[in-house]
Amino acid sequence: MADEGLSAGAVARRLGVAVTTLRTWHQRYGLGPSGHVPGHHRRYTTEDLSRLEVMRRLTAEGIAPAEAARWARYAPEEPPTSAAARAGGGFAIPVGRAGPAARGLARAAIRLDVDGMREIMQRAVTDEGVVSTWDHVLRPVLAGIGERHMATQRLIEVEHLFSRTATEVFAAVPRPHGGEPPRVLLACSDEEQHSLPLEALAAALAADGVGSRLLGARVPPRALSDAIERTGPTVVMLWSHAPTTAHVGQLVALLEAPHRPVLILAGGPGWTAADLPPGVVAPSSLADALQLTKAWAKPTD
Ligand code: B12
């Protein structure tokens, strides 16, 4: 490169990107020209160019621009490669042996591409149904997000947007209406925030014509018993994702309720089988929970 540096047009041509893209990278992410030649616009130096090469490569691999720019600014000599990322060492969300839909979803998630995520999730629900979408498309990505978060303490924004989008897609599955009031009550235990698995179950039930009441996250014992008294469900599922929210007392209260539900399910990895009171059933999967719930959700009188 000549000593006086490169113009924006020349850099754009070398990188194969538009001049407007360069301008955006400059204005939003501080990846601008640092050289200065009197009487000229600022010029891109060799260092600027190598930063921009990192930026171009990482964004082309699907890494979010802000994230790519952080690498480009601070570690241009050691950017992650997409192969390293797939192996779990970079910015990609590892999805193991999951199929193309989960891979595409993971890429859309890391880019915070909300439309892309919604489209993939919706298409999977339409083509494969809720259970398969959960097991083969969403769950691998959720587990991958959890893994990357543990390793890096990052990606909370990805986790939130992903969860929100999944919530919307599950909620959009049409609910049965016009028949009997729902006999199924779905609730997270007190202080439990991981409601997505219950949202998946509500959507799967709806797709099979079974209605439910979904109380969602953090249901205190009193609220749960009030809801049971007022709605008389035949099936109740209480979800706990971690031992800290596996309040066995909440299950005991269900067993002792004046209108005891016929089937009490303890869902989620928070519960320990040995601690479950007799009469409580722990499903092993969404499909299992769906089958059990449907069997008991029919009117009994
Ligand atoms: C999304 C997410 C969140 C979202 C939840 C959004 C929502 N609306 O649900 C938000 C941001 C709220 C969240 C918050 C927190 N989270 Co969080 N979260 C996750 C994440 C990424 C996915 C959760 C999920 O849905 N998993 C579903 C599948 C993937 O879980 P699974 O264990 O394979 O489940 C199987 C079985 O349970 C079985 N099964 C048995 N019965 C049934 C019945 C049904 C109906 C179904 C569907 C399945 C089923 O099949 C399932 C698979 O289908 C996980 C990572 C992970 N690996 O799960 C962390 C994770 C669960 N969270 C974790 C933590 C620590 C937290 C926080 C405490 C963080 C914080 N410091 O604030 C908080 C609050 C937790 C609380 N008090 O409830 C830890 C839990 C560690 C632990 N065991 O104690 C995890 C494992 C992440 C990690 N690796 O550290 N989280």
Q: Point out the ligand 1 atom lying closest to the alpha carbon of residue 270.
A: 83
The CATH number for 38's domain is 1.10.1660.10
pLDDT reported for residue 188? 98
- Domain end position, chosen among 51, 79, 107: 79
> 26, 43 in Cβ contact below 8 A?
no
125 within domain boundaries:
yes
Measured CA distances, 233 to 73, 257, 284 (Å): 57, 11, 22
- The DSSP-derived string for 121-143 is HHHHHHHH-HHHIIIIIIHHHHH
End-of-domain residue from the set 79, 103, 132: 79
CATH number at residue 154: 1.10.1240.10
> Residue whose CA is closest, atom 52 of ligand 1?
285
Residue 132 domain boundaries = 84-171
- Using CA positions, which residue lies closest to atom 83 of ligand 1? 242
Report the C-alpha gap between 104 and 177 in whole angstroms: 34
Last residue of a domain, one of 22, 44, 79: 79
* Closest residue to atom 88 of ligand 1, CA basis: 146
Residues 62 and 93 in one domain: no
> In the chain, how many domains are there?
3
Amino acid at 98: A
Determine the pLDDT at residue 85. 45
In terms of domains, do 214 and 235 share one? Answer: yes
287 and 188 in a common domain: yes
The CA–CA distances, whole Å, from 45 to 36, 68, 210 equal 9, 20, 64
CA of 188 to the centre of ligand 1 (A): 12
Which portions of the chain are predicted below pLDDT 70?
1-3, 37-38, 74-91, 298-301
Locate tokens 């490669």: which residue? 81
Per residue in 226-280, pLDDT tens?
999 999 999 999 999 999 999 999 999 999 988 899 999 999 999 999 999 999 9
Tell me: do 188 and 129 sit in the same domain. no
Ligand 1 atom nearest to 200, measured from its CA: 47
188 plus 292 within the same structural domain = yes
In DSSP notation, 60-122 reads HTT--HHHHHHHHHH-TTSPPPHHHHHTTSSSSPP-TT--HHHHHHHHHHHTT-HHHHHHHHH
Query: 211 CA distance to ligand 1 centroid (A)?
Result: 24
Asked whether 47 and 34 are in contact (CB, 8 A), the reply is yes
Q: Are 225 and 190 contained in the same domain?
A: yes
